[in-house]
């Protein structure tokens, strides 16, 4: 069984948006503001740089008890002793990833809509990322926006914990939670904020208020 984790406010990093402030400084501020889980995502980075980034974030997050998951690369997650992996539909299957990760690490899977949920082998998956809820510029290969109603449709199909993802801001967060999401995942709303700590605080409060 995977370690306990809290999906309330799930941060996905973006190398372009964190470039000015720096990855670690952005994540540190975000966590101070209430982020409960961090995903390192940098699809263009080479393995060596990713391992270095993952180790730096792990050093930052472990003492705070905030889990770190790595997008796509199971090898990087294990090398950096991260807490888990988040997979897209084009990545290694969850079953293959679970065999490499062992039972103790967190495994997440992106699901675009109810049909994709139905077609996914969820064996070994601990949580789902559902979306894009709204169209977004940070993930160009994402599917069509499904709205909070799409989140509710996936919610009805599974008992797994799930986060809504894609274009969610503080104004939209309550709808996503009321659609049955256990939390919200954000990229731009924190990485692109002038004050990531304040942005995280506002988002976390919006999630709490909607429950």
Write out the catalytic residue numbers. Answer: 41, 110, 139
Interacting residue with a copy of itself among 37, 51, 176, 184 (CB under 8 A): 51
For residue 15, state whether it binds a copy of itself (rule: CB under 8 A).
no
167 is in an annotated binding site: yes
For residue 73, state whether it binds a copy of itself (rule: CB under 8 A).
yes
Nearer to a copy of itself, 11 or 97 (CB): 97
Interacting residue with a copy of itself among 28, 74, 152, 179 (CB under 8 A): 74
| Whole-number CA gyration radius for the chain | 15
Question: 165 near 132, Cβ under 8 Å?
Answer: yes
For residue 99, state whether it binds a copy of itself (rule: CB under 8 A).
yes
Interacting residues of 18 by C-beta distance below 8 A, sequence separation 6+: 26, 27, 191
Q: How far is the CB of 128 from a copy of itself (least distance, A)?
A: 17
For residue 6, state whether it binds a copy of itself (rule: CB under 8 A).
no
Distance CA 60, CA 62 (A): 6
Q: How far is the CB of 131 from a copy of itself (least distance, A)?
A: 19
Size of the chain in residues: 211
Return the residue matching tokens 């692109």. Answer: 192
137 is in an annotated binding site: yes
- Other Cβ atoms less than 10 A from the Cβ of 1: the count is 6
Distance CA 114, CA 166 (A): 16
For residue 46, state whether it binds a copy of itself (rule: CB under 8 A).
yes
Distance CA 22, CA 103 (A): 33
Residues of the shown chain interacting with a copy of itself in the complex, contacts defined by CB under 8 A: 46-49, 51, 72-76, 78-79, 87-93, 96-97, 99-100
Binding residues: 71-72, 91, 110, 136-139, 167, 187-188
């Amino acid at each position: 069984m995977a370690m306990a984790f809290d999906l309330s406010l799930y941060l996905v990093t973006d190398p372009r948006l964190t470039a000015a402030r720096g990855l670690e400084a952005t994540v540190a501020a975000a966590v101070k503001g209430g982020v409960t889980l961090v995903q390192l995502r940098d699809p263009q980075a080479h393995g060596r740089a990713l391992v270095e980034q993952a180790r730096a974030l792990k050093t930052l997050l472990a003492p705070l008890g905030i889990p770190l998951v790595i997008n796509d690369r199971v090898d990087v997650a294990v090398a950096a002793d991260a807490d888990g992996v988040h997979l897209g539909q084009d990545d290694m299957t969850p079953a293959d990833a679970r065999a490499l990760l062992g039972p103790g690490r967190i495994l997440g899977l992106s699901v675009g809509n109810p049909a994709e949920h139905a077609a996914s082998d969820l064996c070994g998956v601990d949580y789902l990322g559902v979306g894009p809820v709204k169209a977004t510029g940070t993930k160009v290969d994402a599917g069509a926006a499904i709205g909070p109603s799409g989140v509710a449709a996936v919610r009805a199909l599974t008992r797994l914990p799930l986060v809504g993802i894609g274009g969610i801001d503080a104004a939209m967060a309550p709808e996503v939670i009321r659609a049955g999401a256990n939390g919200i995942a954000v990229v731009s709303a924190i990485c692109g904020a002038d004050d990531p700590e304040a942005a995280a605080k506002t988002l976390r409060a919006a999630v709490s208020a909607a429950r």
